[in-house]
């Protein structure tokens, strides 16, 4: 009987599900830890403020009009002495 082998994608999906469920268990435990939840909330506020500042700067750039540069000539002006 031929061996049945899982593709890398199928194997990865299987382990992803295990990791996701394990992380969900850890998150559930973390939400009961008041100190950890408070620290995470404070950090989330700082991160949200940073993202808001970045969005403000992006809006400023988006409002700017493009600079149209004048064509420059390749000939140089020669000053006459005299």
Q: What pLDDT is attached to residue 31?
A: 80
Residue 76 has pLDDT above 80, yes or no: no
Q: Which residue has the tokens 């002006």?
A: 77
Domain ranges for the chain, please list them: 8-63
Give Cα separations from 15 to 6, 7, 8 (angstroms): 12, 13, 11
CA-based end-to-end distance of the chain: 102
pLDDT tens by residue, 6-57? 788 888 888 888 888 888 888 888 788 888 888 989 999 999 999 999 999 9
Q: What pLDDT is attached to residue 54?
A: 97
Q: What is the crossing angle of helices 8-30 and 34-63, to 10°?
A: 120
* Cβ contact 49:41 at 8 Å: no
Residue 75 has pLDDT above 90, yes or no: no
Residue 2 has pLDDT above 60, yes or no: no
């Amino acid at each position: 009987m031929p061996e049945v082998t899982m593709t890398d994608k199928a194997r990865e999906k299987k382990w992803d599900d295990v990791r996701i469920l394990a992380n969900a268990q850890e998150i559930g435990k973390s939400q009961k830890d008041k100190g950890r939840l408070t620290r995470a909330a404070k950090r989330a506020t700082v991160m949200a403020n940073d993202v808001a500042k970045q969005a403000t700067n992006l809006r400023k750039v988006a409002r700017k009009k493009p600079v149209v540069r004048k064509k420059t000539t390749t000939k140089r002006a020669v000053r006459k002495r005299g």
